[in-house]
Amino acid sequence: MDRYWNKTVETMEREQIRALQLEKLRATVEYVYANVPYYREKMQAKGMIPGDIKTLDNLKDLPITTKQDLRDTYPFGLFAAPMEDIVRIHASSGTTGKQTVVGYTRRDIDVWAECMARCLVMADADKNSRVQVSYGYGLFTGGLGAHYGAEKLGAVAIPASSGNTQRQITMLVDFGVTHLCCTPSYAMYIAESLNEMGYTKDDLKLKAGCFGAEPWSEAMRAELESRLGIRAHDIYGLSEIMGPSVSQDCRSQSGLHIWEDYYIPEITDPDTNMPVKEGEKGDLVITTIGKEGIPLIRYKTRDICSLTYEKCECGRTHARMSKPTGRTDDMLIIRGVNVFPSQIESVLLKMGEVQPHYQIVVERVNNLDTMTVEIEVSERAFSDHVKGIEDFERNIAKQMESVLGISAKIRLVEPKSIARSEGKAKRVIDKRNLV
Ligand code: DLL
């Protein structure tokens, strides 16, 4: 029998979940209509008023929200709560440089911690657990999101943040850490470094990991479980909706339970935004119900997965999404950081002397993602810079890192050496085998 953090809610009958969702959806629509002019105008353009939401089926009539909408209203235009009630801000990469900013009220932080606590208990944590949080702390939601959940649970939260891997391992061993939260690729790096430092998994007290923020394969799960002697859970989330803990898989590892008392999921056709048949794959669209800072209606995540409402052997009744396998846009996730090719392009266009012909090569070397940007330089620059080419590359790399937030290797190549395409340019060559 599984343990739960909030048994009443986690095991609610479907009819009860639906009734709760309808009630909270109606309240959310009324709330955004009253407080977010952007939504009010979008609804008015569709000839809708909040009272039109009579059943859950009416969800599909509501307007879709995209990352572009967040960009158009940057930074705070979609906030529904007054700034005096916002207690925290997080942000993640936007498509062309500007960040996507989200705000949380005190209650939002509490709801987030509640959902994260449910995920940790699903990974068999309790108040005696020691949770090392090796997601980055900062504007990224990973670190603080997991941290507040661990504290809410009453476990020991260890705010390791990412990086300094040897110290991470020393803490894992010396502090008797039972749960590790980080990206799956970082967990793999930790596992390798552990052996290099002369330890084995028997030196650890680790029981489980909550790994996410990037897509990872079942093969990688098996590898992590055997190398670290743990159960590896897949945790999903996005800053626009909340952060980590929108969903996570249970011990049966057969899909990620979405906390349906706070999020209504739909799977839609990426082109029409209309719901597809149950079980079919499509674009995951999420409506937040019960969020105050920045409630989002039908947010198009662009993550591809399917949904099932079948009973799960763990006893939880909340819908399960399949492991997200890819995206319907060109966003790359490199070492847990979201990167859009258009951000790279905007840096290049500002540099001069380089051509807008470039290619991004992503590889996984020793379980860590590397990104190389190959850029054509102009004929003149190529001959002028032959000697100073390395300085020029370094300069571009510096600009790139300040915009992307992660380092990229820059390789300047001769004019006309990158293959031209007759249709869409193939900007990204992703050599990682993620699924
Ligand atoms: O990555 C939040 C998070 C932190 C989730 C820690 C899990 C653990 P963003 O930076 O806004 O937020 O990126 C969100 O990352 O739309 C997916 O494309 C991808 N993603 C997140 N979790 C998973 C996962 C955080 N488990 C974007 N599997 C999402 C696949 C994931 N992709």
Which pLDDT tens digit goes with each residue over 397-415? Answer: 999 898 888 899 999 888 8
The pLDDT score that the predictor gives to residue 97 is 61
Which atom belonging to ligand 1 lies closest to the Cα atom of 243?
A: 2
Where in the chain are the domains?
1-327, 332-430
Residue 206 is encoded by which pair of tokens? 């680790």
Q: For the chain, what percent of residues have pLDDT higher than 70?
A: 96
Could you please state the CATH topology (level 3) that the domain comprising 1-327 is classified under. Answer: Rossmann fold (3.40.50)
| pLDDT reported for residue 23 | 98
- Rounded to the nearest integer, the mean pLDDT of the chain is 93
For the record, the structure tokens of 381 come out as 């620059």
**Which mutation among 92, 210, 249, 303 tests ligand 1's pocket best, with the greatest number of atoms within 8 A of CB?**
303
Span from the CA of 246 to the centroid of ligand 1 (angstroms):
10
Helix 341-351 to helix 389-404 angle (10° resolution) is 130
Query: What pLDDT score was predicted for residue 3?
Result: 95
Query: Do residues 182 and 234 lie in contact, with contact meaning Cβ atoms separated by under 8 Å?
Result: no
Instruction: State the closest ligand 1 atom to the C-alpha of 302, by its place in the atom list counted from 1.
Output: 16
Name residues contacting ligand 1 (CB within 6 A): 92, 135, 140-142, 212-215, 234-239, 243-244, 301, 303, 324, 327, 333, 338
Atom number, ligand 1, closest to the C-alpha of residue 235: 26
Q: What is the pLDDT of residues 257-272, one digit of tens each?
A: 999 999 999 999 999 9
Pocket test for ligand 1, best of 116, 218, 235, 238 (most atoms within 8 A of CB): 238
Q: What is the pLDDT of residues 79-133, one digit of tens each?
A: 999 999 999 999 987 666 678 999 999 999 999 999 999 999 999 999 999 999 9
Can you tell me the distance from the alpha carbon of 80 to that of 65, in angstroms, rounded to the nearest whole number? 15
What is the rounded average pLDDT of the residues 333-362? 83
Contacts of 221 (CB under 8 A, 6+ apart): 184, 232, 234, 253
Residue whose C-alpha is closest to residue 293's, from 146, 107, 43: 107
Query: What's the confidence (pLDDT) of residue 95?
Result: 62
Per-residue model confidence (pLDDT) at position 415: 83
What tokens appear for 373 in the block? Answer: 């940007």
CATH 3.40.50.720 correct for 332-430? no
Give CA–CA dist 372/241, Å, rounded.
31
pLDDT for 351 equals 78
Report the pLDDT value the prediction gives residue 174, as an integer from 0 to 100.
Answer: 98
d(CA 358, CA 92): 24
Report pLDDT for 275.
94
Label the pairing between strands 299-305 and 337-339.
Answer: unpaired
Lowest mean pLDDT among 98-102, 212-216, 377-381, 422-426: 422-426
Distance CA 66, CA 285 (A): 10
Asked if 356 and 375 touch (Cβ cutoff 8 Å), the reply is: no
pLDDT at 405: 86
Which amino acid appears at position 295 of this protein?
A: P
Cβ count within 10 A of residue 218 = 11
